[in-house]
Amino acid sequence: MPSKRDIRREELTLHGHRVSYRVAGEGPVILLIHGVAGSSDQWEPAMALLTGDHTVIAPDLLGHGESAKPRGDYSLGAYAAGLRDLMLALDRPRATVVGHSLGGGVALQFAYQFPEHTERLALVSSGGLGREVHLLLRAATLPGAELVLPLISNDTVRDTGSAVSRFIGRFGFRAGPDLAEIARGYSTLADGDSRRAFLHTLRAVIEPGGQRVSATDRLYLAEDVPSLVLWGRRDPIIPVRHAGTAHRGMPGSRLEVFEDAGHFPQLDEPVRFARTLADFIESTEPADISAEALRRRLVSSSS
């Protein structure tokens, strides 16, 4: 029976920058993409359940976790290109691509930019599907956020997490996994490089009025890619109605809503999450989309 002990942390250098990732298992590849201020460790409970029949790769995106935090491009397109390069460097050119929150937006961008590398697409509490997003993230894009973040991510806060939890609790989060995980994410922003990467990443996709990047006009391109949309009914960050937007926009997609989960269904219900993802993979054939097939779909949509 696979366990967390079977998950290895490895790293390599891409374009001069350290990329850290977790990997486990053997078989067809599942690529797991975390959200903003998160890291690959948010996937560990589910990874341990998926490695029996798959190779599971969960990178720390640049600017996050143990990967490098350079000055540079933190757009969705840059993240998607970096993941493509990671897969090629690992000689794993195709994968079921799973993205959570910001990672969902990255996964959508990946599938759009690199369809030949995308076997399936799974969106988990994904960004990029509507304007609405919690005030906590919108507030972090305001001028002056650079001055506030150090106050809630200093050494004392990083050790205890209590001050971050109290701060985030003022934004209406109930005590529980969502509050704890978001507090943990904010408490990783203790150094200037991490804060700068966080703000660059966040401001690339969110503005004070809400999400500024939308994939809704391109969802139809996923019609030939088996797609899963998975959400927690109690998600306080991105409303569950965005799941319906994705499901309707991707013909043939599968929709799963976990009634008791919040923004992190992979942490709230890891066993159910892993079973749902595994069943989705086992019950669908991997896509094999050529540039010519994508061209035809683009042309037909404009006629």
Active-site residue, from 101, 125, 126, 165: 101
pLDDT at 303: 62
Q: What is the reported pLDDT for 90?
A: 98
Per-residue confidence (pLDDT) for residue 186, from 0 to 100: 76
Instruction: Give alpha helix (H) positions in the chain.
Output: 44-50, 76-89, 102-113, 135-139, 145-148, 155-160, 162-169, 177-186, 192-205, 241-249, 265-268, 270-282, 291-302
| Burial zone of 1 (CB within 10 Å; 0-12 exposed, 13-18 middle, 19+ buried) | exposed
Quote the pLDDT of residue 190: 79
Q: What is the pLDDT of residue 226?
A: 98
Show the tokens assigned to 188.
């990783």
pTM over 0.75: yes
Q: Which of 34, 117, 247, 263 is catalytic?
A: 263
* DSSP-assigned letter for residue 173: P
Residues 60, 178, 235, 268: which is the catalytic one?
A: 235
In the residue annotation, 60 being an active-site residue is answered as no
Q: What is the pLDDT of residue 174?
A: 57
Domains with residue ranges and CATH for the chain: 4-131+212-302 (3.40.50.1820)
Q: Residue 285: what pLDDT? A: 97
Cβ atoms of 119 and 95 within 8 Å: the answer is yes
Query: What pLDDT is attached to residue 152?
Result: 53
Burial label, 86 (beta-carbon count in 10 A; 0-12, 13-18, 19+)? middle
Residue 227 known to be catalytic: no
Residues of the chain with pLDDT under 50: 155-161
Residue 235 a catalytic site member: yes
The predicted structure's pLDDT at residue 144: 83
Positive or negative torsion for Cα 177, 182, 188, 194 = positive
